[in-house]
Structure 1
């Protein structure tokens, strides 16, 4: 987590940007299919054709893949946005703590230019305490975003393993039956 906040920095990692792009592309395809009301009968990327009665399978497949990419993007993005805005809210909260809890030592002018005073070490200790309290406070306020890590873990580990095993078993059953 960075100690500096800038609105001009992107909150997203390269991985999340790729997930966002893939989610948007697949969303566009699914939206086009939904708006036209026509399920495709062939997956051109894979070169697989389906009969009219099997077109529903393509629809469910596309929906499942879209849900996967969408949830994966949301889980990554939530955690990264929380990390991105955390330093900003930490400073705002620390200033509020210093102005309320330590009002005898700080006032608004201290944040523009802290003068050299006799109790500078005390002010530094109070500021460190306020920053620590602010960090804890903001972490708690953003906890709902940080909890998206569990969704991310499910999407990144459980879903691929489960789908991979399910697909291998289904393919094995199909191959064994022929």
Structure 2
């Protein structure tokens, strides 16, 4: 058994700089088969930084305070997304392979919530696909994701192989 207080979990921000507060609770608990992250999103911030899917993990988001918006799609295209609002006290689930991006589009209020993932507590970076505009081929395409030795994200266009690091 292991117990932690959310306030005692260190903040670990995304290399993309898309949120101010992300606390990897599952790391503090030492989980192996379940991921849990606590977020506080200021206006304009997001959980992940872009439209993406996990081919190996389902995700559930619980909004504790505020109202989050999720753009949801069944294909890797921002033009195919449908916005879904999740209010305080509500949850939303994404199966493996469904594209989503969650963010705070309120101009004044913050969003506080949790992201849960299973069946693993750590990402298999090769099983994540992000949707980005490729500067090389000029298309909005799925990009493979990897984590560099310097803990930076490297995106690889699945159409032309162009690599971009953040």
Scaled by the length of structure 2, the TM-score of the pair is 0.17
Hey, which of these two has a bigger chunk of strand by percent?
A: 2
Scaled by the length of structure 1, the TM-score of the pair is 0.17
Hey, which of these two has a bigger chunk of helix by percent?
A: 1
Look at both structures and tell me which one has the larger radius of gyration over its CA atoms: 1
